[in-house]
Amino acid sequence: MRAQPKASHFIDGEYVEDAAGTVIESIYPATGEVIARLYAATPAIVEKAIAAAKRAQPEWAAMSPTARGRILKRAAEIMRERNRELSELETLDTGKPIQETIVADPTSGADSFEFFGGIAPAALNGDYIPLGGDFAYTKRVPLGVCVGIGAWNYPQQIACWKGAPALVAGNSMVFKPSEDTPLGALKIAEILIEAGLPKGLYNVVQGDRSTGPLLVNHPDVAKVSLTGSVPTGRKVYEAAAAGLRHVTMELGGKSPLIVFDDADLESAIGGAMLGNFYSTGQVCSNGTRVFVQKKIKQSFLARLKERTDAIVIGDPMDEATQLGPMVSTAQRDKVFSYIEKGKSEGARLVTGGGIPNNVSAEGTYIQPTVFADVTDEMTIAREEIFGPVMCVLDFDDEAEVVARANATEFGLSAGVFTADLTRAHRVVDRLEAGTLWINTYNLCPVEIPFGGSKQSGFGRENSAEALKHYTELKTVYVGMGPVEAPY
């Protein structure tokens, strides 16, 4: 099998196997080929990983942030040196085209190691609080053993986005990738060891929705960071609450992207396409409700169709391919069922909606799909589809579109395209979302905080803000004089 790792899990600096676990088959979505066979973690494996993380953490926390950061920066260098190899693995794991993975996956993971490695010495400082003669100071201390649980759309990026801030702040991590994409995180764990990370600090265990609770409920776990759907978020949050564990929730969305009639049309269409078709539409922050002001509706749709029909679909390993398959048959079938719902509820299919004809029949491909005349009540305008399906809705004025954009339980992201500077800022101010863009869409460099509001979650990844979610404050009051007691 062409991507078979040495073993399923990576614990305490080495590959570990336990064939008593349920079999997880890793499938290359472009062809249906089984590329690796792994085992879900048994309770014994989970115990082993958490014990290693617990043992290794105090010594790591006692090192200086500069020394910890140096190791992460070395890991970033190794990731960049191996970008091609890691990107090919990411393409096999997810089906995403190599054209994307080579610029967006291991590289964004490396950015995360480099950024957190660099800022740690300054960003982990505490405060000095003068109190007259007495004073106090605060220390930012690590939480301990952190659990990371990943989704399948950006497996290597998620493994790094959680690992980098956790580690640099002095924590250890046990990471569970999605059962659909188990391979990339193992390589990240290997690279961290090669970069000099002491054993036991970054462990990877495989498993599915029955393995997750073993990690989340473990008494030695201090924090859980989940990237996944809203229903999973509710379960994980509830389980973490029972143990009063810290949580970060990066969940789903149904984000609005608003195009006013003064917008640069080509840019707005480009933004809408990136925000619906990149990674075959499997991006949490996608702007899947594209609100277009009525005056430009016809020209927007005509040019959108033209550009969408020109998208190159095919073999993800071919550098020319722009759109690959969905991650799995289950996800493909789910997206097709939404396409059928869109048609039956009266949305107008502008383009796509079927299986492309130039691809392997075993691949889980879907044509990039655009629906127009979508209304707010339709299922496709309310539920997260997580596939290459764009819904275009019309609007008349600003107040109306802001109200409709906010009429959702989700609040992950939002975008506005307009040439009117004051309107752009006024509208983003009113939109209920955690991450917003003006005249661009979906850009998430490591320097900026990323995360959601409402049902899309809480806590932030990336930027110095993420470190707050992997540390807690310790306050020390220092008495400088005699204690005056009234008794």
The span from the CA of 252 to the CA of 328, in Å, is 18
Among 216, 259, 268, 381, binds ligand NAD (CB under 6 A): 216
* Residue 461 among the catalytic residues: yes
Find the catalytic residue in 190, 250, 384, 398.
250
Nearest to 173 by CA among 183, 185, 184, 181: 185
Minimum CB separation of residue 159 from ligand NAD in Å reads 11
Least distance from ligand NAD to the Cβ atom of residue 302, Å: 30
| Active site annotation includes 250 | yes
Around Cβ 135, how many Cβ atoms within 10 Å?
Answer: 14
# chain residues binding ligand NAD, by CB under 6 A: 29
Q: Which stretch binds ligand NAD (CB under 6 A): 33-41, 92-100, 106-114, 231-239?
A: 231-239
Residue from 48, 90, 223, 284 carrying the catalytic annotation = 284
Closer of 155 and 314 to ligand NAD (Cβ) = 155
3-class SS letters over 281-292:
HCCCCCCCEEEE
Among 160, 236, 240, 359, binds ligand NAD (CB under 6 A): 236
Q: Which helix (H) or strand (E) holds 47?
A: helix 43-61
- Is 190 annotated as catalytic? no
Q: In what order do the strands lie in the sheet with 246-250?
A: 14-16, 9-11, 202-204, 172-176, 145-149, 221-227, 246-250, 457-458
Query: What minimum distance in Å lies between the beta carbon of 377 and ligand NAD?
Result: 21
Count Cα neighbours of 182 within 13 Å in the Cβ-side half-sphere.
Answer: 28
Radius of gyration of the chain (CA): 24
Least Cα distance to 288 among 338, 327, 323, 332 occurs for: 338
Q: Closest approach of Cβ 387 to ligand NAD, in Å?
A: 11
Considering only residues 144-203, where is the footprint of ligand NAD by CB under 6 A? 149-153, 176, 178-179
Closest CA to 446 of 464, 431, 426: 464
CB of 326 to ligand NAD, least distance (A): 11
Residue type for position 170: G
Out of 116, 371, 386, 417, the residue judged to bind ligand NAD by CB under 6 A: 386
8 touches ligand NAD (CB under 6 A): no
Residues that bind ligand NAD (CB under 6 A): 149-153, 176, 178-179, 208-209, 212-213, 216, 227-229, 232, 235-236, 250-253, 284, 384, 386, 412, 452, 457
Catalytic residues: 162, 250, 284, 461
